[in-house]
Amino acid sequence: MNKFKGIYRSDTTRLKNWDYRWDAAYFITICTKDHEPYFGEIENGEMLLSNVGVLADVFWHEIKNHTQNVELDAFVVMPNHVHGILIINSQCVPQCRGVACNAPTLGNAHPLGNAHPLGNAPTPINEFMSSISPKSGSVSAIIRSYKSAVTKHANRLGYAFAWQSRFYDHIIRDNIAYKNIQNYIINNPANWPKDKMNDKKQPE
């Protein structure tokens, strides 16, 4: 994960002046508790999913069926974490309509014409309230629901499993970054031997 060193943020330290319901592409990383390899193992550069790994994969792809205005792009389940690109592609929330939006688009397949540029957002959201009550349709609410679904069904089926309490997000700023992250996710299994997560180290 050296390629993305320093760009992760905990979901308890939100980016100021940014509402996580706004249109954007988000690079998401969610780790297992203590980086235990609950999801399976890498063999010959390919991920072999455990039963819990199958749940992690299935419920990620279910996100778009349970949340409006969400698109999913590259995604991978690794032994002790998942990486994915989550795209919120909707109209601006009512109180934000009328604010000038000029963030870059990410090509025809992933239009982000409604995204708010960093540093040009309206009144900052209340960070304390956001941390204790994620807004419906926000990145935090979507990831919380995903994690809950995987945990619920793992417990129901009797599989040992637990998530790390936090997740990591990065707002993708432009098409070049988008392609780099997309390729990173796709190639993650092949690069597992040199991945920092392979020895249970936290992302820096």
In the chain, the domains with their CATH numbers are: 2-191 (3.30.70.1290)
Could you tell me the pLDDT band of residue 197, with boundaries at 50, 70 and 90?
confident
- Write out pLDDT tens, residues 97-140: 333 333 344 444 344 444 444 434 444 444 544 454 557 778 99
- Write out pLDDT tens, residues 172-188: 989 999 999 999 999 99
Give me the chain's average pLDDT, please.
78
Higher pLDDT, 96 or 133: 133
Do 75 and 82 touch, CB atoms closer than 8 A? yes
Q: Cα(73)–Cα(197) distance, rounded to whole angstroms? A: 22
pLDDT of residue 182: 96
> Which residue is listed with tokens 């432009």?
174
The burial class, CB within 10 Å (0-12 / 13-18 / 19+), for 86 is buried
Could you tell me the pLDDT band of residue 57, with boundaries at 50, 70 and 90?
very high
Alpha helices per DSSP H over the chain? 51-66, 127-132, 139-156, 175-186
* β-sheet with 70-77: strand ranges across: 9-10, 163-171, 24-32, 81-88, 70-77
Average pLDDT over residues 36-63: 97
pLDDT of residue 11: 44
pLDDT of residue 133: 52
pTM reported for the whole predicted model = 0.74
Lowest mean pLDDT among 25-29, 40-44, 71-75, 124-128: 124-128
Do 71 and 23 touch, CB atoms closer than 8 A? no
Could you tell me the pLDDT band of residue 16, with boundaries at 50, 70 and 90?
low
Closest CA to 25 of 68, 66, 84, 78: 84
Does the pLDDT of residue 6 top 60, yes or no? no
